[in-house]
Amino acid sequence: MTLSEEATERLADIVARQPTKNGELQELWGMDSGSEVHQYLESALKEYYYRNENSLICATPEATELVGGSPDDNPAPRMTVSPLQGTIVEGLAGPDEEPMSVVATLQAVRAAGEDPEVDDVRSALRSLADMGVVETVQKTVPTFRLAVAREDLDLDVRDE
């Protein structure tokens, strides 16, 4: 997706200020409401941001690279994930490996001692993709692998 100059500048604002709130971006961008910020994010920058566990706006690793940064310039924010998401990150193929289907991921999670439903694994993978931790590789069916090296992730697994 090609971004306009304005969208690229606003994405750079998010990268520089993350995690941030609608109100901060509203003031910075001269918008009338937090709702207007949300609408802009969803229409122009949907692929490049996510909301963390506190609903704060964060840039994906791809967004940081897109605006000329590197992971070293702006290390990935510490993210809190569910126990299932933590198990998925541990068992999922790395960035340079062959991606795994939802079923293969389910099998890896079950091999690690958990027994979730396939829909729960699918949902967890989508959430991890929204955070920029996992990338979706479209084949006949969607497959997944880590978007960044496992050792570059800083995750806290929350108690449930």
* CATH number of the domain enclosing 131: 1.10.10.10
Tell me the pLDDT tens digit for each residue of 42-71. 999 999 998 887 788 988 888 888 887 655
Phi-psi region of 141 (alpha: psi -120 to 50; beta: other; left: phi over 0): beta
Q: Do 153 and 83 sit in the same domain of this protein?
A: yes
Question: Contact, 143 vs 134, CB < 8 A?
Answer: no
Question: Contact, 74 vs 13, CB < 8 A?
Answer: no
Q: Do 88 and 152 sit in the same domain of this protein?
A: yes
Asked whether residue 126 is domain-assigned, the answer is yes
Domain that holds residue 133: 79-157
Asked whether residue 90 is domain-assigned, the answer is yes
pLDDT (mean) for 111-120: 96
Mean pLDDT across the chain: 87
**Residue 158 has what pLDDT?**
85
Question: Which residue, of 17, 34, 66, is where some domain finishes?
Answer: 66
Full-model pTM: 0.55
